[in-house]
Chains A and B, each alone.
Chain A
């Protein structure tokens, strides 16, 4: 992949904010020195394993331990061994860490085993049989759940939100052209490179220490204290090098941590390692929520949107998990970046007997954005104008109020983003070239067809609505007598680069070279809760907090240790630190998130400004389809985005490239196949198909850096944005190439063939 990185042309010094510095974690990872949880070995360590249900809900009648094993040599834990609350501490407390008599889905953990011999443990695992009385009428689809064909929980709906603006009837009366469609998106697996795992043990001081792979150490701490009945002082959560998360390590690590902890506590505090292999990880952990969206949108003849009526539903699976907040983000993003005075979005998170779905990069937005973008293409078709023209007419511009109710301020220039995307992709010329190519190809009986498509979208950064206010995140910056500085926060590096960007922000604020700043190990006995490492919030929100803490530290040194207010280099800084620490026990300054004035959100009526900052983007995809096999080749991809100040252009481009590739997988490759009990049947890398480099065209990445983000120097959130755009752009390109109306992802060659219809495919081939 080739990334062309835009520059704002300003002078940037090495190490400072905005410079493409090498990542802090690069050396250890390249050399294989980084230690992941499975690399850790302790004396006397046991290995843990999990016995899971096979049916899509039901009751457990009996647990049978087979012959041939000395079961007294195993540590065995069931729900009866939970000393505290048997539930993960998420939005609701409906999900047990170990199922007791009743369970709701296949793959639900029921019993834990531990033994020093991992091979023997593996054989023993197969000798434990759960005798299940299966739920006779499991529910596997959103439609069935809403029609109450079987009941997972009362009413089968976890949340039901309504966001409305203006008056729908007025808008419908004004509409001269209406488009109506149903759109679906599939489940998606995160495929972080490191499967999930934890090690738990009780240290000499009696503290339960749990370390492992995770995004949100304080979430894990919250579940551990509840499950064990211990207080936060006697439980310590330590972050290990984490090989990717993408949202998949937001909530599920709490389960594994609780399991490892329960085994360790029952084993007298001995270390217990519980690390999943890929198959178990894919089977047990949450997926992106499948969605179905019913869209009716109407426009006046001149193309101005008259109304939007959107019914958005997510398959939450068998427990609530994070579905309500995934849903709210999906609802808020459902109208897309378009102005419409009369609009209504209903959103429901639906209960099914699938294993619970959960957080995944984009968090509901890729699902609802896919629907509105395809609907905009459909409406353009009805209007007889191009998808680009319809977007140009309706794009949010300064002075517009979005459907949720946010005033678009004058720092936003969405047209400039779209202009650059059209220019870089040569969109108009390529569109005409595709049309000509297809005509010639069809005339000559050749099997290739080409198409180009675009998506326009925005993504709100940080927690939705009042989430950041409620979180009230806190971080610290400290320095030692040699002038070495540490960022002290719970924000977890998992490959996305936030250790480096946070250090850059602090180095900039203190006027130090980057080498002088590191991030302290994330350990809940040392670092404050800077919030979960999710929601495109770390650089923007936590960056702001550490910047504030760094400024306070500098002011403290200027005020109390004679640090020159200007022109001080690293030596002057170190000298000031030494002077300060001569008279003070520590040099550590704290800061807390202060919400900007313009962000007010009323959760009860879904109205106001749901996000402090939005990033804006236009993505263009080109495809070539071979009608012989219906295989789709992506031939070009252009990603232009406005993300406020870019803190590190290489890391930022990496986020976009990776997000685009994950979006390509979402659109064209990644299909979760379910067995008859709703469990993932293709839970192997062999059969769950993610794209390889051979499937990816050069991804051309461009940044615009308009001011206006609330983060350091105007930075906005970026991590999730690139997940939103590829799906709709690729499907638009595909429909343009083939004249089809494909309305769901993933689109596999089998789906392309079905969309073409047997006769037309035959003819074309």
Chain B
């Protein structure tokens, strides 16, 4: 059995962003914004109730553009994971994002799933947010009142909650290129090698300065999945590493910092202890590779 279909009156599929924002402004949280619908459908199928009214954004080509600028790529919220994974500039200069898009669900899921949906669905286990946090992405929200761009770090304010107002839609994500000499590290630890939900994932961008004594951290930025109620950056760890020599970073320090930054729990997929230890191991591996 599947859930009963929504009636046509409850299915809004605007053909322009302006129309979509007008509906959003009018209906607010009474409509659920959908794009690829690869996660919501699963939940609806499992539930007993009929579908809620939806705001279907899949006809908005203007939300699906990928624009390459001099310092960043701006990705429309409705761009699919498959397009992101295969985009030549993203593959060449934002390799972690190409990789995380390629590890989102299955190939069939990647053809439908969108970057905006992966963010707005606001799962702490979502595949692309850690990479966006590590790259220092910015997100652009729009409403009939206008648009605004904010740092992605801090966008998730609590479990399944974001900074977006009830009348706003996410329209794009801007991902700056990292410094050309920065090293990048991304690893998703799922329940198996493919088609898996993260138990822990980590993305890191570590920029260093080289002198006679080796590499010294100029800036280090991290993103984590599945180790807290929201996708997490690790500000304590970033601060602790600033100015440190990579060879001198000791494990206890990383562990101590992550104890502040992360709040993993036991759940159906893994344990808090495993997540905490693997997170530390992944950071140590990233530091070792950066050196």
Interface residues of A (CB under 8 A from B): 47, 49, 118-123, 125-126, 277, 279, 447, 627-631, 669, 673, 681-682, 684, 686-687, 689, 691-692, 694-695, 749-750, 753, 758, 761-762, 765
Q: Which residues of A contact B209 (CB under 8 A)?
A: none
- Whether A673 contacts B274 in the complex (CB less than 8 A), given A628-B281, A686-B42, A695-B193, comes out as no
Q: Is the CB of A126 within 8 A of B48?
A: yes
Q: Is the CB of B271 within 8 A of A686?
A: no
Q: Which of B48, B50, B199, B284 contacts A765 (CB 8 A)?
A: B284
Q: Is the CB of A682 within 8 A of B268?
A: yes
Q: Is the CB of A692 within 8 A of B1?
A: no
Complex: chain B residue closest to A687, CB-CB: B268
Within 8 A of A (CB), among B181-198: 187, 189, 191-197
Q: Is B282 an interface residue (CB 8 A)?
A: yes
A658 to B79, CA, bound (A): 38
5 contacts between A and B (CB under 8 A): A118-B1, A118-B2, A126-B48, A689-B191, A762-B277
Q: Which residues of A contact B3 (CB under 8 A)?
A: 119, 122
Q: Which residues of B contact A630 (CB under 8 A)?
A: 274, 278
Q: Is B26 an interface residue (CB 8 A)?
A: no
Q: Is the CB of B189 within 8 A of A631?
A: yes
Count of chain B residues near A, Cβ 8 A: 35
Q: Is B160 an interface residue (CB 8 A)?
A: no
Q: How far is the CB of B4 from chain A (nearest CB, A)?
A: 3
Q: How far is the CB of B8 from chain A (nearest CB, A)?
A: 16
Chain A CB within 10 A, most for which of B42, B199, B281:
B281
- Whether A695 contacts B274 in the complex (CB less than 8 A), given A123-B48, A687-B268, A765-B284, comes out as no
A758 to B280, CA, bound (A): 12
Q: Is the CB of A123 within 8 A of B50?
A: yes
Q: Is the CB of A119 within 8 A of B192?
A: no
Q: Which residues of A contact B195 (CB under 8 A)?
A: 692
Closest 7 CB pairs of A and B: A119-B4, A126-B48, A694-B193, A694-B194, A750-B274, A689-B191, A765-B281
Q: Which of A277, A686, A691 contacts B197 (CB 8 A)?
A: A686
Q: Is the CB of B268 within 8 A of A673?
A: yes
Q: Which of A121, A279, A627, A750 contacts B270 (CB 8 A)?
A: A750
A472 to B250, CA, bound (A): 72
Complex: chain A residue closest to B251, CB-CB: A762
Given A119-B3, A682-B268, A694-B193: 19 more A-B contacts, CB < 8 Å: A118-B2, A119-B4, A119-B5, A122-B1, A277-B1, A447-B285, A628-B281, A628-B282, A629-B187, A669-B192, A684-B46, A686-B197, A689-B191, A691-B192, A692-B195, A749-B199, A753-B277, A761-B277, A765-B284
Q: Is B269 an interface residue (CB 8 A)?
A: yes
As a 0/1 sequence over residues 214 to 252 of chain B, the CB contacts with chain A under 8 angstroms (1 = contact) are 000000000000000000000000000000000000010
Complex: chain B residue closest to A49, CB-CB: B1
Q: How far is the CB of A326 from chain B (nearest CB, A)?
A: 28
A596 to B118, CA, bound (A): 64
- Whether A753 contacts B1 in the complex (CB less than 8 A), given A629-B281, A691-B192, A692-B193, comes out as no
Q: Which of B2, B48, B278 contacts A629 (CB 8 A)?
A: B278
Q: How far is the CB of B1 from chain A (nearest CB, A)?
A: 5
As a 0/1 sequence over residues 258 to 282 of chain B, the CB contacts with chain A under 8 angstroms (1 = contact) are 0000000000111101100110011
A682 to B267, CA, bound (A): 10
Q: Which of A628, A687, A750 contacts B271 (CB 8 A)?
A: A750
Q: Is B49 an interface residue (CB 8 A)?
A: yes
Q: Is the CB of B48 within 8 A of A694?
A: no
Interface residues of B (CB under 8 A from A): 1-5, 42, 45-46, 48-50, 187, 189, 191-197, 199-200, 251, 268-271, 273-274, 277-278, 281-282, 284-285
Q: Is the CB of B285 within 8 A of A628?
A: yes
- Whether A119 contacts B251 in the complex (CB less than 8 A), given A681-B268, A692-B195, A694-B194, comes out as no
Q: Is the CB of B192 within 8 A of A629?
A: no
A681 to B268, CA, bound (A): 8
Complex: chain A residue closest to B45, CB-CB: A277
Q: Which residues of B contact A126 (CB under 8 A)?
A: 48-49
Q: Which of A47, A629, A761 contacts B1 (CB 8 A)?
A: A47
Q: How far is the CB of A12 from chain B (nearest CB, A)?
A: 38
Q: Is the CB of B277 within 8 A of A758?
A: yes
- Whether A753 contacts B269 in the complex (CB less than 8 A), given A123-B49, A765-B284, comes out as no
- Whether A125 contacts B48 in the complex (CB less than 8 A), given A118-B1, A119-B4, A629-B281, comes out as yes
Q: Which residues of A contact B285 (CB under 8 A)?
A: 447, 628, 765
Q: Which residues of B contact A47 (CB under 8 A)?
A: 1
Complex: chain B residue closest to A447, CB-CB: B285
Q: How far is the CB of A48 from chain B (nearest CB, A)?
A: 10
Complex: chain A residue closest to B288, CB-CB: A445
Q: Which residues of B contact A694 (CB under 8 A)?
A: 192-194
Q: Is the CB of B196 within 8 A of A689?
A: yes
Q: Is the CB of A692 within 8 A of B251?
A: no
Q: How far is the CB of B271 from chain A (nearest CB, A)?
A: 5
Q: Is the CB of B274 within 8 A of A749?
A: yes
A449 to B46, CA, bound (A): 41
Q: How far is the CB of B253 from chain A (nearest CB, A)?
A: 14
Q: Which residues of B contact A122 (CB under 8 A)?
A: 1, 3-4, 48
Complex: chain B residue closest to A122, CB-CB: B1
A681 to B251, CA, bound (A): 36
Q: Which residues of A contact B4 (CB under 8 A)?
A: 119-120, 122-123
A630 to B277, CA, bound (A): 10
Q: Which residues of B contact A765 (CB under 8 A)?
A: 281, 284-285
A689 to B193, CA, bound (A): 11
Q: Is the CB of A692 within 8 A of B270?
A: no
A694 to B194, CA, bound (A): 6
Q: How far is the CB of A38 from chain B (nearest CB, A)?
A: 10
Q: How far is the CB of A553 from chain B (nearest CB, A)?
A: 47
- Whether A629 contacts B196 in the complex (CB less than 8 A), given A119-B1, A126-B48, A681-B268, comes out as no
Q: How far is the CB of A698 from chain B (nearest CB, A)?
A: 15
Chain A CB within 10 A, most for which of B1, B199, B284:
B1
Chain A CB within 10 A, most for which of B192, B251, B271:
B192
Q: Which residues of B contact A681 (CB under 8 A)?
A: 268
A673 to B49, CA, bound (A): 26
Q: Which residues of B contact A669 (CB under 8 A)?
A: 191-192
Q: Which residues of B contact A628 (CB under 8 A)?
A: 278, 281-282, 285
Q: Is the CB of B192 within 8 A of A695?
A: yes
- Whether A121 contacts B284 in the complex (CB less than 8 A), given A126-B48, A629-B189, A687-B269, comes out as no
Complex: chain A residue closest to B195, CB-CB: A692
Q: Which residues of A contact B5 (CB under 8 A)?
A: 119
Q: How far is the CB of B246 from chain A (nearest CB, A)?
A: 15
Complex: chain B residue closest to A696, CB-CB: B193
Complex: chain A residue closest to B189, CB-CB: A629
A253 to B150, CA, bound (A): 56
Q: How far is the CB of A567 from chain B (nearest CB, A)?
A: 55
Q: How far is the CB of A73 from chain B (nearest CB, A)?
A: 16
Complex: chain A residue closest to B42, CB-CB: A686
Complex: chain A residue closest to B284, CB-CB: A765
Q: How far is the CB of B109 from chain A (nearest CB, A)?
A: 11
Q: How far is the CB of A747 from chain B (nearest CB, A)?
A: 13
A750 to B271, CA, bound (A): 7
Q: How far is the CB of B113 from chain A (nearest CB, A)?
A: 14
